[in-house]
Structure 1
């Protein structure tokens, strides 16, 4: 039995007999931490530096109502440390089993929300998900995905926020800030360079320090400074030859010494490989500790969507039943004995307690029903702002509500919209719209019950709107022949633990679109995908809408976009390439086979694009793309003029934006810098709402770091003196309007 489990059996409920000294409200956080640490026994210190995975505990029932949570540990009441309850929370409260008791609001995928380019919306989303978590009794939210989209095939791209470090870091920071206003702790993850799901426990990332600092690490740095998350979650993979959870370079040299981060580092579940080395590197807490020893028994397939052989399943089940999974975990008491002193344990626990006390983890929270109405409204705002209009020939959209006959085809549009899978899976209120056998919510395709078809019928009650499944292509194509308009819904599922083999839709989906476009010139394709896809039929359809995984209000938002009740305003947070051959790595990583017992072997994975992630790679190599970063159409038109640059620091630029059309709309004014040997990059943006024919002046601040280069020689950022071109544009490939900024040499740290 774990130290903390022993404590819970020997103590009464939290705060029943409060320690007056430790609960003194006049104490500062640091004073309270000092006093708490001075009262803690070794067993209590050992209990703080681990959390348990309830499903793999010897006695899961000890976790009570949190037995299906992501992480748990018991209260240490006599030192005022609460029960720790952790939940996945990227797109809502994570569900691990298909049980309506764990239903919650399903928000749009993070990538969908990122397409809004709206920090205020991300803050609102963070607050909403954090509120849901707190209402359910959770005090730690495992959210804040900050990895860059280095490869559009990445299986967890829908959990992340795009390919540009400024965009990703800013949005992740505001999401985290919003979540923590609920007096819970939020994380950022997965630190760092964990950009593939394929062989995520096996690859060793090779990239220069400069390349890392100007890409993935820059995103984390921005998110940490803006959001001030209580914890950073290290990743599964290796970087520069060390597992990230035992990398002194990442956890100590960069995170703490260079960035001055004062929170704690928790591991990902199953990501710890040692005791002494991990502690010396700066890991504070082993998360879901039971899973680490299961990995040592050959369980790595659980993290790669690979079925375990019966012999491995038997070994793990036996170890669970005997309590061995925790006893053999790396931060369990037997492994700490003789390796870690009491003072070292206090040093590990200090940032944990500091984060818990400063964010409000220790506060008593009263469980209450999740606010479904408020959550739906936030989900609706996010879906509306994140849907991207990619093509609209001859003003096919918005559809005419007086059309006599509209045919809707495919994608279960009659019942719901698709969501992504894995640990972020949310079981939506109302259940899975497409019932599928199985109890494991993380491995099940979940369709949020929000029917685009029903919402379309509600908005256009006089139109005849009929639905045909893609399973009967002949009947669907026949119906399309006589329709005024055809809307084809095309879903593609993705989930944690595996990457997409390629960027193609299925052969059947492409054939369906081609066949419908052959018989009707007014075809709109609505994509429900985790990211970029190839579109061999693009020239033969009239309109394309990227809806991503739009969440519980997705059906309503899609219908509103299609009929013009909402003007599309989303812009791509990543590039849509023409093919996999245009990518830095045309093929996915190839890993050694997983062993039947023990941990898998590692292999090198070279990030040859270095800091030139996404659109920067395509600009550097001169490769054309299908749709560029930042692209997104509207039902109105915006024009830019009068671009002025304030030459003195801080650098600000002003640009006049005018809505040239009749409709109200929202634009994202993007500012890029290039020249002076700098590859074009995003340096700022602002989202602006304008009525028809209205204009306004927009001011955008530019941080010098955005045009600086990192030097490994002195660990400093350097702006090279010279002239830089600034472009205000609607996408990275839009010529927009330009001005010039003349700067002097600059050098600064983080």
Structure 2
């Protein structure tokens, strides 16, 4: 080992000690000290940034990694440049896909939500955050937590289901994991950005109480648990006001009521005025998409004219600085090009995929596959290539690259960037590796008669069915489309031992459901999705996923059978000019009849039976619940025992719901015990008062009168096993 000179050792020790001392100074004080040293122009640098790929290479900062965008720092004061990358499913390399850049692809957000596992969410976040830093990014645009209000919405695959408690807890875990790498994470898209149709012009009309009890509650819980450095405001309007210039959302709720101390960045192309800074927006992102430099050139003019005070610039810059110091960005300079252990990261992605797979049907214990099955025909879904993924800004080119890539849309706003491709491990190869003695044949399924004939000659058939989803495109219906329903029906008619593996970003209807023996919902499986599917099919992994969304039986069961805006007329020339549109629909309002009763709550309120309820999921073993003890008073505590009463080790997800008189049921908690055969474990859940109470907009408090509640310990929102009644004291608390 080379011995360092004593003087150099002392210098290094002094440098390290100085950094350690600096890190112990509160982030607020450090931000204030830096702000005091900055010029007006330097403060302004922190408030806007371009899309890097739209800046000529010669004009970009040298050595910067190209991603979603960047915000210049102040080098003389040690304030670093912010280098941003999408998104929740891995380091999105949309800008560099053609150059061969790859990253570890996590399964979809819907898959993560189906795991019901906050620790898994944190592990996945830590992994993608580590890759982001290694590649040269210190801001990651993760944290999508918009609730699934409509199963046709194009970005649902990125999000975490329909329940605010489940989504909020999981996104908080993911954000905390990402930020453990000394980078800033976001939570997005704030707020009520629940569909893609008309996302730039639509206005959501909803009362305050309904917002607080649903979408805003998911954000609030996520912020409390994850402490994201930034909140990203969305494209849409709420009550006629764009969310990125919405004083109620950005100032009253986010900062006054929730005490949020980070900064608010816009979504790319979501800024409409310089005055947005007065409402609570701190940073204009992807400024080229807005067409105007609202937070730079126009902001200077606004300050000079007196319409925006200089203190507003100080406030916004201070928030950005504080996030840099609070999350270690300023103290851990980027060093792009660091090595990445892709094998270790793929193992995390595989575990996430395995935990998110939901067994929906398993007649006569068709699964796991028996060793006696010798002739298997695998059909459709490009299972010989890889697993599908969603399109848009969250898309990741996995290690090994994307294969069989086509456009995700032939026209419209998604045509330029949404891609449809396959990657990761191919399910066909993985199945052959798990079943080396079986004769496994593959057909692409395009010839329905040939597929049915092959199925009739096999011991069993496994059909991979897919449905593409992407940012900027909502789906027209709930069918699989592309002739896949007809294919499944024909194959199941030819062979009663047919298994369907769904690879979708959303719920789908299943007109063939009773004709097939088994159904797996595998979502978009990520880096090792094929391996995860094969291990669940063969029983190497016992499925433990439970649905984070309701699978409706038809669109008629939805609060809005017709997707809002899907029948809106095209915007005329004058309207396009007012709203800054090149194309698109005329502005329209969105009304959600379900209000705060999203998803399973709506089905409960209406007494409607879905195809598969929220929380549903089967296992290769069985579980028994007993010994329910419910304690009331000032809070609600639920205790019970879970026993693995089957012959296989497995994890269960017992769920606790409460119902108040005249109200829809609400999830108040869950557990995920992993138990060996015969093993028992006591579960304790203490309810968050906010999922019990209602928000009173007049008093601005969460309130509930003293009274009795029905408590259910269930295997899904529709399947109670243990029930009890408890009396609770009055709830009255601040937001």
Instruction: State whether TM-score is above 0.5.
Output: yes
Q: CA deviation at 1:371?
A: 2.4
Cα distance per residue 1:678-725 (max 9 Å; x no partner):
311100101110001211111112112211000011000012211101
Q: How does 1:408-423 map to 2 (within 5 A)?
A: 408-423=378-393
TM-score by length of 1: 0.90
The question of 1:345 aligning with 2:313 is answered yes
| Equivalent position SS for 1:273 | coil
Helix, strand or coil at the partner of 2:653: strand
Residue of 636, 643, 661 corresponding to 2:621? 636
Listed one character per residue, the Cα deviations across residues 450-480 of structure 1 (whole Å, up to 9, x for unaligned) are 1111111111111101111112222222111
What is the alpha-carbon distance in structure 2 between the residues aligned to residue 654 and residue 661 of structure 1? 22
Q: In 2, Cα distance between the equivalents of 1:717 and 1:327?
A: 38
Please list the CA deviations of residues 511-533 of structure 1 after superposition, one character each: whole Å capped at 9, or x if unmatched: 11011011100000000000100
Query: Is the CA contact 2:212–2:695 (under 8 Å) kept in the aligned structure 1?
Result: yes
**Superimposed CA distance per residue, residues 104-161 of structure 1 (whole angstroms, 9 cap, x where no aligned partner):** 0011001101100001100111111111111111000101001100000010000000
Instruction: Indicate which of 578, 581, 593 corresponds to 2:553.
Output: 578
CA offset digits 1:634-655 (Å, max 9, x no partner) = 0011110111013344432111
Partner of 1:49: 47
Alignment map for 1:585-734 (pairs within 5 Å): 585-590=560-565, 591-594=568-571, 598=577, 599-600=580-581, 601-734=586-719
CA contact (8 A) 1:272 1:330 kept: no
Given the alignment, which residue of 523, 542, 554 partners 1:548? 523
Trace 1:109-188 onto structure 2 (pairs within 5 A). Answer: 109-188=108-187
Aligned residues: 701
Residue 38 of structure 2 is aligned with which of 31, 37, 40?
A: 40
In structure 2, C-alpha distance between the alignment counterparts of 1:349 and 1:536, rounded to whole Å = 55
Whether 1:487 and 2:455 are equivalent positions in the alignment is no
Report the secondary structure of 1:429's partner residue.
coil
Instruction: Tell me the SS of whatever aligns to 2:652.
Output: strand
Distance 1:39 1:606 in 2: 49
Contact 2:146 2:159 in 1 (8 A): yes
- 2:490 matches 1:515: yes
Contact 2:114 / 2:547 at 8 angstroms: preserved in 1? yes
CA distance in 2, matches of 1:441, 1:270: 15
> Offset at 1:588?
1.3
Q: Secondary structure at the match of 1:221?
A: helix
Secondary structure of 2:176's partner?
helix
Match of 2:266 in 1: 267
For 1:181-218, what per-residue CA distance to the aligned partner results, in whole angstroms no more than 9, with x for missing partners? 11100010000011011100111100111111100001
Is residue 340 of structure 2 the alignment partner of residue 365 of structure 1?
no
Residue 24 of structure 1, CA deviation: 4.6
Please give the per-residue CA displacement for 1:42-64, whole angstroms capped at 9, x wherever unaligned: 11111111121122335675145
Residue 451 of structure 2 is matched in structure 1 by 476
Whether 1:500 aligns to 2:468 is no
Q: Would the aligned equivalents of 1:424 and 1:442 in 2 still touch at CA under 8 Å?
A: no
How many Å separate the matches in 2 of 1:402 and 1:22? 63
How far apart are 1:100 and its partner, in Å?
Answer: 4.6
* Residues 54, 60 of structure 1: 8 Å contact kept: no
Q: For residues 555 and 138 of structure 1, what CA distance do their matches in structure 2 show?
A: 29
In the alignment, the residues of structure 1 paired with residue 549 and residue 21 of structure 2 have an alpha-carbon distance, to the nearest angstrom, of 48
For structure 2, which runs of at least 5 residues remain unmatched after alignment? 1-14, 409-413
- Cα shift at 1:21: 12
Tell me the alpha carbon deviations over residues 713-741 of structure 1, each in whole angstroms, 9 at most, x when there is no partner. 10000122111011111100002101122
Q: Provide structure 1 residue ranges, at least 5 long, that are not aligned to the other structure.
A: 1-16, 294-324
Where do 1:200-599 residues align within 5 Å? 200-276=199-275, 278-293=276-291, 326=293, 333-334=300-301, 336-338=303-305, 339-362=307-330, 363-367=332-336, 368-436=338-406, 442-506=417-481, 508-590=483-565, 591-594=568-571, 598=577, 599=580
Residues in 1 aligned to 2:143 and 2:298: alpha-carbon distance in whole angstroms: 25
SS at match of 1:407: strand
For 2:366 and 2:550, the matched residues in 1 are separated by 24
TM-score of the superposition, structure 2-length normalised?
A: 0.92
Change (3 A) 1:281 1:726: same
Contact 1:96 1:441 in 2 (8 A): no
| Contact 1:480–1:519 under 8 Å retained in 2 | yes
Mapped to 2, the partners of 1:21 and 1:415 lie a distance apart of 49
Whole-Å separation in 2 of the counterparts to 1:134 and 1:467: 40
Coordinate RMSD, CA, aligned: 2.1
User: SS state of the match for residue 121, structure 2?
Assistant: helix
- CA distance 1:611–1:25, shift in 2 (3 Å): closer
Call closer, same or farther: CA 1:409–1:441 in 2, change over 3 Å.
farther
Could you give the per-residue CA deviations for residues 599-652 of structure 1, whole angstroms, max 9, x where no partner exists?
245221112211011011111112210000000000011110111013344432
What SS class does the counterpart of residue 499 from structure 2 fall into?
strand
CA distance in 1, matches of 2:452, 2:206: 50
1:740 match: secondary structure: strand
Matched, 1:89 2:87: yes
Structure 1 partner of 2:11? none
Pick closer, same or farther for the CA change 1:418–1:390 going to 2, 3 Å: same
Asked whether the equivalents of residues 289 and 330 of structure 1 are also in contact (C-alpha less than 8 Å), the reply is: no
Per-residue deviation, residues 526-565 of structure 1 (Å, max 9, x unmatched)? 0000010010000111111000001011000000011111
User: Are residues 635 and 515 of structure 1, via their aligned partners in 2, closer, same or farther at CA, if it must alter by over 3 Å?
Assistant: same
Say if 1:22 and 1:80, in contact at 8 Å, map to a contact too: no
Separation of aligned partners in 2, 1:605 and 1:203: 7
> Is contact 1:158-1:530 (8 Å) kept?
yes
Q: Which range moves more in the overlay, 601-610 or 115-124? A: 601-610
Is 1:640–1:658's contact at 8 Å kept on the other side of the alignment? yes
Q: Secondary structure at the match of 1:446?
A: strand
Deviations 1:646-667 (A, max 9, x none): 3344432111111111000000
In structure 2, distance between residues paired with 1:45 and 1:704: 41
Alpha-carbon distance between aligned partners in 2 of 1:486 and 1:202, rounded to the nearest angstrom: 46
